[in-house]
Amino acid sequence: MLEKTVIGGKVAIALGIMCIVFVAGLGAAIASYTSIISNKDKANQDYVSTHSHDNTEFNSLDTSFSDYVETHSHTNSQYDAYVASHQHTDLEFDSAVTAPKLVTVDLTVEDDWSRLPYVSSTFRVSGYVVNAGSDAAYNPEIHVVAYKLIDVKAIDAYYSLATIDGGSWTAFDSTFVYSGGPLFSWTITPQWTTTP
């Protein structure tokens, strides 16, 4: 025979209140999460609407890239031919790095020309010659060419210097004499040899 168990009235009321509180809390949680999900969906839709692009922009970039690749791509044989024609030995590289290389620095020129006939004019050139290589520059000289007009050469002269060791420099100051009016243009070029 089965016996019935009866719950007391106070326990039943407490369980009823707990169920009501549980259901109310569950309802509040569902409402809160529904609101959060709705806000996230709206934010996602806003982002998509402001960041979506049609295929026009992509297609334009893709076409530009394809055009670039078409005009700038090379076959392996073309690449191999290029590499073969541009290889240098270590000796060639070393001599290119260590070879003397003269450059002029702080170059100053003065054209002091005379308006009087039969009076010589002078062209003064001064500055420094620097050997940017590590080997000595032998027989260095400054080659000065100056023109009175576009095609009338007034000066074509050399100024000799002493040997310039690698990484060192020397000062120079020379005056060249010419006749006639002012100079129109000039070039000042260092020259040297790699052997004494």
- Summarize the confidence of residues 139-156 as an average pLDDT: 92
Per-residue model confidence as pLDDT tens digits over 119-143: 788 999 999 999 999 999 999 999 9
At 192 the pLDDT is 95
Taking the C-alpha atoms of residue 92 and residue 86, their distance in angstroms, rounded to an integer, is 12
Q: Is residue 70 part of a domain?
A: no
Expressed as residue numbers, the domain containing 105 is: 97-193
d(CA 7, CA 13): 10
| Judgement on whether residues 121 and 183 belong to the same structural domain of the protein | yes
Q: Look at residue 151 in the predicted model and tell me its pLDDT.
A: 83
The CATH number linked to 167 is 2.60.40.10
The answer as to whether 123 is a domain residue is yes
The answer on 105 and 37 residing in a single domain is no
Task: Assess whether 103 and 32 both reside in one domain.
Answer: no
20, containing H or E segment: helix 9-51
Q: What CA–CA distance (Å, rounded) separates 160 from 50?
A: 73
Q: Does 74 fall in a domain?
A: no
Q: What pLDDT sits at residue 148? A: 87
From CA 170, how far away is CA 111, in angstroms rounded? 23
Cβ(123)–Cβ(111) below 8 Å:
yes
Residue 131, pLDDT score:
94
> Domain count of the chain?
2
CA distance 30 to 34: 6
- What pLDDT, on a 0 to 100 scale, did the predictor assign at position 38? 84
pLDDT band at 182 (very low <50, low <70, confident <90, very high): confident
Q: Look at residue 81 in the predicted model and tell me its pLDDT.
A: 83
pLDDT of 3-39, one tens digit each?
A: 656 667 788 888 889 999 999 999 999 988 888 888 8
- Read off the pLDDT of residues 47-86 as tens digits, 9 standing for 90 and up: 877 776 667 777 888 888 888 877 877 778 887 888 778 7
Encode 130-193 in three state secondary structure.
EECCCCCEEEEEEEEEEEEECCEEEEEEEEECCCECCCCEEEEEEEEEEECCCCCEEEEEEEEE
**Does residue 1 carry a pLDDT above 80?**
no
Tokens 């979506």 identify what position? 52
Answer whether residue 75 is part of any domain: no
Same domain, 39 and 101: no
Query: How many residues in the chain?
Result: 196
